[in-house]
Amino acid sequence: MLARGLSCVFVVALGLALGLSVAGAETLRERALRLMAETPLIDGHNDLPWQMRKRFNNQLNKVDLKTLEGTHTNINKIKEGRLAAQFWAAYVPCETQYKDAVRQTLEQIDIVHRMCSKYPDDFMFATSSKDIMTAFNQSKTASLIGIEGGHSIDSSLGTLRTMYQLGARYLTLTHSCNTPWADNWLVDTGDDPVEHNGLSPFGKLLIKEMNRIGMLIDLAHVSEAVMNQVLDISTAPVIFSHSSAYAVCPHKRNVPDSVLKRVAEKQGIVMVNFYNDYVTCSPTANISDVANHFDHIKNVAGSSIIGFGGDYDGVGRVPEGLEDVSKYPAIVEELLRRGWTDSDVKAALGENLLRVFKKVEEVRDSSSSPPDDTPISLDEVKNPCRTDYGYPTPPGNAGPRLAHTPPALILSLMLLIALLAKSF
């Protein structure tokens, strides 16, 4: 009788223990949110500033970013998605090259500053790895600037430095056009001509100057030759701010395995893009397809080079389950479902980018070199919209004010002078 009673007590106790264990078990979503509360989620690329340009001509006073509709990003979605730090893209199209790219880029830098000023309880302007953690501890989204496209600096190291002083912390070397010093990714598809076989001599100088001033070098959008040359030259780690794995989706905007391994050797980072065309090479994709890129990069080069680079508000199609920035916890949950450890996830969330950023800052702080003031060759940038003040005037040249005067206008002026001389 006593034995039967003890057996019943044991069964009841065991049942209670199992019940408590099940009740106290952490779900995958709870685990994802816990990890995101412990480590800042840092995203490498968001084009909300371009939406401000395109939709409102940068008239931020007419916009409520808390509830803005028709975009992937607003403040309420940012909070729901636990987005702790964002590199906002200062993007202007390739059509501005040789025209007003610098002005338009400065206006995109200005819009990020104004976003932070208008919403100080939600955004904190950030320029350093330390700033990211300060914002995280204050429950604000650290707002950093990345310049998307080398055409934005008009082939000028002085302009590069000025934009850095205004807070820009990475430069994407090209967008979808060649610059006078670098080939873009369309060279690898055959849609653009090879102009520099990667980087020109000036392009190589620019990489060294970026190392010197502490600007992150972004290899999203460049040709494979540029990827490898930068990895040869740079003394600091590099980033791909919004690119995925070429082996999963063979699109030339993605990163081949050979380069993934080199990025790992350089202790850099590849921040996975969510654009359907780069995820599945088709118009449709889902959250599992995105996780396949995370898994592949981890298998090839380790979890230490992975980050998030959603490309929200810069693309027209995003995966099912990742419809906007509020959905970041879902992809974290999916990685945990696939067996990613807490340390793997924390690395991808933000630890990898913080490590890269700190190393770039260390390279900057250890440099004693003066600013490089070597101008690009005039022959590489000569065009009707550019004057040549400061460059030597060849013998017999009409001088800087007439150097780029159209021949028809010169002929008209000569005829006018001849007529005037004849009339006198």
Q: Which residues are catalytic?
A: 45, 47, 148, 175, 221, 242, 311
- Rounded to 5°, the CA angle 101-55-271 comes to 65
- Contact 84/41 with Cβ under 8 angstroms? yes
CA distance 320 to 30: 21
- Contact 147/90 with Cβ under 8 angstroms? yes
CA distance 377 to 374: 9
Q: What count of residues does the chain have?
A: 424
Specify the DSSP class assigned to residue 321.
T
The total of other beta-carbon atoms located within 10 Å of residue 23's CB is 7
Place of tokens 């980072």: 269
CA distance 118 to 218: 29
The 3-state DSSP class for residue 290 equals helix
Place of tokens 């502490």: 214
Torsion region of 299: left, alpha or beta (phi above 0 gives left; psi -120 to 50 gives alpha): alpha
Classify residue 385 as exposed, middle or buried by CB count within 10 Å of its CB (0-12, 13-18, 19+).
exposed
Torsion region of 226: left, alpha or beta (phi above 0 gives left; psi -120 to 50 gives alpha): alpha
Distance of CA 157 to the CA centre of its chain: 20
The total of other beta-carbon atoms located within 10 Å of residue 95's CB is 11
